[in-house]
A and B are shown apart, each in its own frame.
Chain A
Amino acid sequence: MPNDVIVHVVDDDETFRKSLTFLLASAGYSVCAYESALTFLALLPLPEKACLVTDLRMPQINGIDLLLRLRALDIEIPTIIITCHGDVSMAVQAMKAGAADFIEKPFKDDVLIRAINRVASQGDPIATTAERNTVKARLRQLTEREQQVLAGVVEGLQNKAIAFDLGISARTVEVHRANMMAKMGAHNIADLVRMVLSYNGVARPRINP
């Protein structure tokens, strides 16, 4: 599927940057790759229909800083954050700083391509109204406890910390968490955070400037 969207890739790791460029090119995208946030920022402003895929952890300017700078420059570019596993709390920060989505390394190509198409074509992060309704319906199925556990998980808290906050055992948190994940249809925390943030709208820079 040929695309008129230009995907800008920012990643300091050459191996990964090159492979990602190859993957996106093979999927029919025009790709521009940058080894740092600064080289990318130097090229602004961009033509229409652009999408940014950036690494989270980079020297000097990291993914969150890059998002904040873009916002300060009043540049709206749908951004997908590529994270390493375990960076959930940082990923949540990135979402709050305006990232449209985040994906954990290594990933299936479909996941990334779907995300790019979604954010680039709609100019709207993550969810359609239908998808938001699905999330809403799922959230309604949760018990009060499960909602509390969900809130903790999305904040990037460990089970132990959630257990302490709620005054229940870590094992009970584990059970609630597993049930909550199943009810939400979330494969992992990234999935869950994405759903919840899309529903709450916290992530969208236009709502929360």
Chain B
Amino acid sequence: MSARHHESYPRLPTSTFVADQDRLHHIKRIFDLVPNALLLLDQAGNIAACNAAALAFFGYSEHELVGRDVDFVWQATATDRHAKPHVAACSELLTGIARPKNGEIFPAALSFVADTAAIAPFTSAMLQKLPRESDSVHQVRQLQAELAHMARVTELGEMAATLAHELTQPLAAIANYSQGCTRLMATTGDTSSTQVQEVLSEITRHALRAGDIINRLRDFVARTAGDKSVEHVHQLIDEAMEITLLGTGSSRLSTEYLLEAKRDRVLVDRIQIEQVVMNLVRNAVEAMEGAQRRNLRISTKNGTDDTIVVEISDTGAGIEWDETLFHPFVSNKPRGIGVGLAMSKRIIEAHGGNISARPGAGVGSIFSFTLPLLERPDAK
């Protein structure tokens, strides 16, 4: 479009001086308002004029550019060297390197339009910024990383399915043995065996629980619908806490419950939601290892949009905040593999909720998730 203006520039009708001036002014305005950098080159290839975009682009003032060879701000890349841009036949696009005043060179193409029929032949050149090679390389690397990541996630899924199958057998065997032992001890009637029996029933409980988790994991990986049931979030929190705080040295840990939500009925896969709570609580406890004050707080409240919000906050060292926090294979823990939070996110989102994290007031961090409430349980 701009080329058309320049073509007509020398052929302006000269009916009256005022009209001419008006017209020139108008064309100059358009020339300046074009968002692309434009250079007008004379027959020798020197810059005769440039628009505002070109000045902004190269960072030079007009008097610094006018009269200079075009090479001053732009050079064709090696393969195009043979072509002298200002003698380009009619219209040609040449790639090259732009050299602005600040020294930050970048790839740019110039498209030349020569008007040899004009009274004073000239060439207009429009500059087009090209994506940097490093930009493309960066993009390619990012895509590669994403692909590799997806491959790992798929691999992990397959691995989990196999693991689930392989682990069920020994877990079932553990459960069988411990239950058999419990029965044997009960029949011998040895009173000193009470403690052992208690331990055995704990072993059974944990083996069965692990079996449950593995079965749910298999459902989860296979993306089949888990068994959803109507549950009370507060009850799930209680159950999850009971299991998590076993063996965490909870004596030095103070736990505060602020379960204030009035409504907590949800339709969820119980084991999955408990997994999320356990995971967040375990993270919180681990974050407080070695901390002076070890305060774990679990609170619930009802959100405005018929949801329940569960918050787990700790007084630990806090974590590094960035958007990759919930990505798989990103971990702030020395031995973490970075699956816990990603898994939690998937679980919560599959239930129609959200999970997020933020720094605590002064110390620690707060993880929170929401779940949609089940309103009318008998809704048809």
Show the binding face of A for B, using Cβ within 8 Å: 13, 15-16, 18-20, 22-23, 25-27, 84-86, 104-109, 143, 145, 158-160, 170, 174-175, 177-179, 181-182, 188-189
Contact of A23 with B179 in the complex, beta carbons under 8 Å: yes
A-B CB proximity, top 4 nearest:
A19-B176, A106-B172, A85-B215, A19-B173
Contact of B176 with A23 in the complex, beta carbons under 8 Å: yes
8 A Cβ contacts from B272-313 to A: none
When A23-B179, A23-B180, A179-B230 are in contact, do A174 and B173 touch as well, CB less than 8 Å?
A: no
Q: Counting CB contacts under 8 A, is B241 at the interface?
A: no
Q: Counting CB contacts under 8 A, is B169 at the interface?
A: yes
What is the 8 Å Cβ interface bit string for chain B, positions 151-190, against chain A (1 contact, 0 not)?
A: 0000000000000010011111111110111011001000
When A106-B175, A175-B267 are in contact, do A181 and B229 touch as well, CB less than 8 Å?
A: yes
Give complex CA distance A86, B161 in Å.
Answer: 12
When A178-B267, A188-B227 are in contact, do A23 and B177 touch as well, CB less than 8 Å?
A: yes
Report the minimum CB–CB distance from B268 to chain A (whole Å). Answer: 9
Report the minimum CB–CB distance from A17 to chain B (whole Å). Answer: 9
Give complex CA distance A194, B329 in Å.
Answer: 42
Contact of B225 with A160 in the complex, beta carbons under 8 Å: yes
Give complex CA distance A189, B226 in Å.
Answer: 11
User: Can you list 16 residue pairs at the A/B interface with Cβ under 8 Å?
Assistant: A15-B173, A19-B180, A26-B184, A26-B187, A85-B215, A105-B172, A105-B211, A106-B168, A106-B171, A108-B179, A158-B224, A174-B228, A175-B379, A181-B227, A181-B229, A182-B229
- In the complex, which residues of chain B have a beta carbon less than 8 angstroms from the beta carbon of A85? 168, 214-215, 218-219
Contact of A174 with B225 in the complex, beta carbons under 8 Å: yes
Report the minimum CB–CB distance from B342 to chain A (whole Å). Answer: 23
Residue of B nearest to A146 (CB): B380
8 A Cβ contacts from B29-55 to A: none
Q: How many residues of B contact A (CB 8 A)?
A: 38
8 A Cβ contacts from B349-366 to A: none
Q: Counting CB contacts under 8 A, is B207 at the interface?
A: yes
When A19-B173, A22-B180, A105-B211 are in contact, do A158 and B380 touch as well, CB less than 8 Å?
A: no
Contact of B208 with A108 in the complex, beta carbons under 8 Å: yes
- In the complex, which residues of chain A have a beta carbon less than 8 angstroms from the beta carbon of B168? 84-85, 105-106
Contact of B179 with A109 in the complex, beta carbons under 8 Å: yes
Contact of A26 with B175 in the complex, beta carbons under 8 Å: no
When A26-B183, A86-B218 are in contact, do A107 and B175 touch as well, CB less than 8 Å?
A: yes
Complex partner residue of B180 from A26, A160, A188, A189, CB under 8 angstroms: A26
Complex partner residue of A86 from B180, B207, B215, B378, CB under 8 angstroms: B215
The interface residues of chain A, by DSSP majority, are classed as: helix
- In the complex, which residues of chain A have a beta carbon less than 8 angstroms from the beta carbon of B348? none
- In the complex, which residues of chain A have a beta carbon less than 8 angstroms from the beta carbon of B374? 175
Complex partner residue of A13 from B169, B181, B184, CB under 8 angstroms: B169
When A20-B176, A108-B179, A160-B225 are in contact, do A143 and B380 touch as well, CB less than 8 Å?
A: yes
Q: Counting CB contacts under 8 A, is B131 at the interface?
A: no
Give complex CA distance A20, B355 in Å.
Answer: 42
Complex partner residue of B173 from A16, A179, A189, CB under 8 angstroms: A16
When A175-B374, A179-B378 are in contact, do A158 and B225 touch as well, CB less than 8 Å?
A: yes
Contact of B380 with A16 in the complex, beta carbons under 8 Å: no
- In the complex, which residues of chain B have a beta carbon less than 8 angstroms from the beta carbon of A23? 176-177, 179-180, 183
Q: Counting CB contacts under 8 A, is B336 at the interface?
A: no
- In the complex, which residues of chain B have a beta carbon less than 8 angstroms from the beta carbon of A26? 179-181, 183-184, 187
- In the complex, which residues of chain B have a beta carbon less than 8 angstroms from the beta carbon of A13? 169
- In the complex, which residues of chain B have a beta carbon less than 8 angstroms from the beta carbon of A20? 176
- In the complex, which residues of chain B have a beta carbon less than 8 angstroms from the beta carbon of A16? 169, 172-173, 176
Complex partner residue of A19 from B172, B183, B184, B219, CB under 8 angstroms: B172
When A20-B176, A175-B374 are in contact, do A182 and B184 touch as well, CB less than 8 Å?
A: no
Report the minimum CB–CB distance from B183 to chain A (whole Å). Answer: 4
Give complex CA distance A177, B169 in Å.
Answer: 30
* Residue of B172, B211, B215, B378 with highest tally of chain A CB at under 10 A: B172
Give complex CA distance A27, B176 in Å.
Answer: 11
- In the complex, which residues of chain B have a beta carbon less than 8 angstroms from the beta carbon of A189? 227
- In the complex, which residues of chain B have a beta carbon less than 8 angstroms from the beta carbon of A86? 215, 218-219, 222, 224
- In the complex, which residues of chain A have a beta carbon less than 8 angstroms from the beta carbon of B219? 85-86
* Residue of B177, B183, B215, B222 with highest tally of chain A CB at under 10 A: B183
Give complex CA distance A170, B223 in Å.
Answer: 14
